[in-house]
Amino acid sequence: MIELTVNGEKRQTDVSPDMPLLWVLRDEFGITGPKYGCGIAQCGACTVHINGVAVRSCQARIGELGGAQVLTIEGLGAKSLHAVQKAWIDHQVPQCGYCQTGQIMQAAALLDKTPKPTDEDIDMAMSGNLCRCGTYVRIRAAIHAAAEKL
Amino acid sequence: MRKALLIALLLAPSAAIPVVMSLAADVTPTSEMPAAGSVGKTEGLAAWKRVEAVLTHPRCANCHVGPDNIPIWTVAGEKKSRPHGMNIHAGDSRIGAETIACSTCHMTSTAPNKLAHAPPHVGFDWQLAPVDFVWVGKSGVEICTQLKDPKRNGGRDAAGLVEHLRHDAEVNGFIPWAWNPGGGREMPPGTFEDHVKDVAMWGAAGQPCPE
């Protein structure tokens, strides 16, 4: 049995240790904020935080996450919307929205480490999160706006 | 098969010592280094040429980049190397701590990740080699001179370099992974065991570098 904490709640699962965290979150725990995009860490749609670090959950084997603290988009805004989520709404960032939970989790991780990022910081941190709708300009603007509020 | 068996045995602590000793009868129980003076300069230079072929291979050199901190990619199926995709900069930390951690995609795991184009794993946090250990863009002679300089090799003497290779294997590190990268990736010449032997021979010969 593997035990971990997801969005502040203790969870247990007895799935195969090789199962990626993304599958566990979506299919076992019903937490569907993290999205399946590519399955090989090329798109960032599945990004969550593990022990405070942004991670592609499609690459994290559940068997290696015993005791881990996992945060998904559902947990990020559980009590009140995170500054990044508010900025996303203010700037109407999403178009189709599929990549946006990963974008927001990556942006929140960036602001944890770099509270006032430059355009270059944002480009470096966010380039692994793809958006087929091309919302990158609004993503960057929203991150700057969130940084002002934090 | 032989390589896989050797690595598997070397990773099992109880089996490691007998295997190492049976491979080379001329090593001392505490070191794989041939006795000092037992390897001539010509043989040592030949061993170095094989080491150089490994160190300059993209699979090994791609993370030994300079102060721009940008890792290099040699994508499976491609011959030409290029900067790591996704605008990745590992930062002065060399682990990406400043912007996006290497471990965001390259999970720390003793289990391999052999899926084509998926980020490889090793048993400790993915990172660039220290900036003093730059190999990309350097000649074989430059790398040779650098590798035997304790100020630029992590303070290691010849035996220390061999121990470094063995320690890396014990922790499922980058070096043995280079010969087992999966996903259709190209590998450096020879085997990990060949490489350890060559580094030891080069060291026993006094670490000669080409003129």
Report the percentage of chain B scoring pLDDT > 70: 85
Tens digits of per-residue pLDDT, A61-82? 999 999 999 999 999 999 999 9
ipTM for the whole complex: 0.94
- Determine the average pLDDT of the residues in A2-10: 98
Residue scoring higher pLDDT (B184 or A29): A29
* Cross-chain CB nearest to A124 (options B87, B105, B119): B87
CA distance linking residue B139 with residue B51, whole number of Å: 13
User: What pLDDT score was predicted for residue B6?
Assistant: 33
Give the distance from residue B59's alpha carbon to the nearest chain A alpha carbon, in angstroms.
20
User: What pLDDT score was predicted for residue B30?
Assistant: 45
What does the block give as tokens for B4? Answer: 């896989």
- Determine the average pLDDT of the residues in B25-39: 67
Read off the pLDDT band of B116 (50, 70, 90).
confident
Q: What is the mean pLDDT of chain B?
A: 85
A81: contact with B, CB 8 A cutoff: no
CATH architecture of the domain with range A2-76: Roll (3.10)
H/E run at residue B149: none
H/E run at residue A48: strand A47-50
Reduced to 3 states (helix: H, G, I; strand: E, B; else coil), residue B139 is coil
Lowest mean pLDDT of B3-12, B33-42, B74-83, name the range: B3-12
User: What are the start-end ranges of the E strands in B4-162?
Assistant: 27-28, 31-34, 72-73, 82-83
A56: contact with B, CB 8 A cutoff: yes
- Total domains present in chain B: 1
* Cross-chain CB nearest to B104 (options A56, A64, A123): A56
Read off the pLDDT band of B75 (50, 70, 90).
confident
- A119: nearest CA in chain B? B99
* Cross-chain CB nearest to B103 (options A53, A61, A125): A53
Type of residue found at B8 = A
Contact B98, A50 (CB under 8 A): no
Residue B11 confidence (pLDDT) above 70: no
- Determine the average pLDDT of the residues in A44-57: 97
Q: Phi and psi (nearest 5°) for A75?
A: -80, -30
Read off the pLDDT band of B29 (50, 70, 90).
very low
Q: Which fold has domain A83-149?
A: DNA polymerase; domain 1 (1.10.150)
CA distance linking residue B124 with residue A109, whole number of Å: 21
- Determine the average pLDDT of the residues in A125-144: 97
CA distance linking residue B32 with residue B13, whole number of Å: 16
Residue B164 confidence (pLDDT) above 80: yes
Q: Considering only CB atoms, which chain A residues are within 8 Å of B95?
A: none
CA distance linking residue B62 with residue B174, whole number of Å: 12
Residue A118 confidence (pLDDT) above 80: yes
What does the block give as tokens for A90? Answer: 């203010």
Reduced to 3 states (helix: H, G, I; strand: E, B; else coil), residue B147 is helix
- Selected for mutation to probe chain B from A51, A56, A58, A129 (highest B CB count within 10 Å) is A56
For residue B108, give Cα distances in angstroms to A31, B23, B80, B178, B186. Answer: 24, 31, 27, 16, 22
Lowest mean pLDDT of A118-122, B28-32, B56-60, B130-134, name the range: B28-32
The answer to whether position B99 is within a domain reads yes
Domain extent, residue B63, equals 2-204
* Cross-chain CB nearest to B119 (options A59, A110, A125): A59
- Over its C-alpha atoms, chain A yields an Rg (Å, rounded) of 15
Q: Considering only CB atoms, which chain A residues are within 8 Å of B103?
A: 53, 55
The answer to whether position B188 is within a domain reads yes
Strands A9-13, A2-6: pairing kind:
antiparallel
- Over its C-alpha atoms, chain B yields an Rg (Å, rounded) of 17
User: What pLDDT score was predicted for residue B206?
Assistant: 96
Give the distance from residue A30's alpha carbon to the nearest chain B alpha carbon, in angstroms.
23
Contact A98, A35 (CB under 8 A): yes
Q: Considering only CB atoms, which chain B residues are within 8 Å of A40?
A: 115-119
Per-domain boundaries in chain A: 2-76, 83-149
Read off the pLDDT band of B23 (50, 70, 90).
very low
The answer to whether position B209 is within a domain reads no
For residue B43, give Cα distances in angstroms to B158, B194, B208, B209. Answer: 16, 14, 10, 12
How many other CB atoms are there within 10 angstroms of residue B189's CB atom? 11
Read off the pLDDT band of B78 (50, 70, 90).
confident
DSSP for residue B103: G
Read off the pLDDT band of B151 (50, 70, 90).
very high
The answer to whether position B211 is within a domain reads no
State the alpha helices, DSSP H only, in A1-150: 21-23, 73-76, 83-90, 100-113, 119-126, 136-149
Q: Considering only CB atoms, which chain B residues are within 8 Å of A41?
A: 105, 118-119
Lowest mean pLDDT of B111-120, B171-180, B185-194, name the range: B111-120
